[in-house]
A and B are shown apart, each in its own frame.
Chain A
């Protein structure tokens, strides 16, 4: 049989639990528990809105469609800049280890504000307008992205391993840092290898 001290302990425990239950709405205002993992997503999809059918053998003058998407899981609304860049095999990509973007200038960009848990997607049509092969090198002079024509003037040497003249269309994700009040590389990029034929 329980003695009076045991019952006292039970009553004290019930009292403490009750007080905690009554205090929980106020504690909710004061205590902010850390949420889950916070991250942003960046993706490209093929013309059928699926992760397939990406353009790879690209003919000058023909138009190709892909979709660019960004997902925000950072716990608050975020402001992103999405930069589309174009390189040949000798030019640098972003450095994921050093978390630095490619030094190549962006050709095309999107600016988007996405609330937490939201996604954004936009079509990206591109075509190589002027390309020529001279002396074993391919020259891409102009690239059209979403009906804006950019002069790129990029040569590419013949890739004997992959048998083609390869360029890379890549997309970097940047985010606005509210503390530093500037856009910063978010260390995410996706790319598409393009074997250019004239």
Chain B
């Protein structure tokens, strides 16, 4: 029976490829979550910083894979996955908070617009009534003048 002793964990091409694929898919998912959080109005600068670190690991994994360094490729893909851990969840939380803030701000501004417009129109209408009555009084006080522009 041949005796084989594994001294170090050698990573095969398929294993490295699968890990890179997983890292790439996780990166894409995290990016989509981050962009959705940004669209909801969240501040995503910390998440972008983490994604860039994960992106560096992912690129290094792919570069190592291209030159046949599968152990390094696998390790870098693992680092990428570790860095991405929790980013999608954090982005989702930020999105929820941003949407709640946005809804609150929307209702506040709608209330301001409605109340402000109503108060303004009411004030304007009151002023218009006063103005109209003053204008009518002024007209009634005016003495009629006979125009004498007819030519004889």
* Residues in chain A within 8 A of chain B (CB atoms): 4, 7-8, 11, 14-15, 18-19, 22-26, 28-29, 76-77, 79, 106-115, 146, 148-151, 176, 178, 181
Q: Would you give the 0/1 interface string for B39-71, flagging 1 where the beta carbon is closer than 8 Å to chain A? A: 100001100100110011011001110110000
- Listed by A's residue number, 23 A-B pairs whose Cβ atoms lie within 8 Å are A7-B131, A11-B127, A14-B124, A18-B117, A19-B117, A19-B121, A22-B113, A26-B106, A26-B112, A29-B106, A77-B48, A79-B31, A108-B66, A109-B63, A111-B56, A111-B58, A112-B52, A113-B34, A115-B44, A176-B28, A178-B32, A178-B35, A181-B28
- Find out whether the CB atom of A11 lies under 8 angstroms from the CB atom of B66: no
- Find out whether the CB atom of B112 lies under 8 angstroms from the CB atom of A25: yes
Closest B residue to A176 by CB, please name it: B31
B82 within 8 A of partner (CB) = no
Chain A nearest CB from B38 CB (Å) reads: 5
A151 neighbours in B (Cβ, 8 Å): 67
Closest B residue to A14 by CB, please name it: B124
Chain A nearest CB from B28 CB (Å) reads: 6
Closest A residue to B58 by CB, please name it: A111
B93 within 8 A of partner (CB) = no
A79 neighbours in B (Cβ, 8 Å): 31, 51, 55
- Find out whether the CB atom of A22 lies under 8 angstroms from the CB atom of B120: yes
- Find out whether the CB atom of A15 lies under 8 angstroms from the CB atom of B32: no
Among B39, B105, B117, B127, point to the contact of A23 (Cβ < 8 A): B117
CA distance A14 to B131 in the complex (A): 14
Closest A residue to B39 by CB, please name it: A76
A77 neighbours in B (Cβ, 8 Å): 34-35, 38, 44, 48
- Find out whether the CB atom of A148 lies under 8 angstroms from the CB atom of B64: yes
- Find out whether the CB atom of B113 lies under 8 angstroms from the CB atom of A115: no
Closest A residue to B105 by CB, please name it: A29
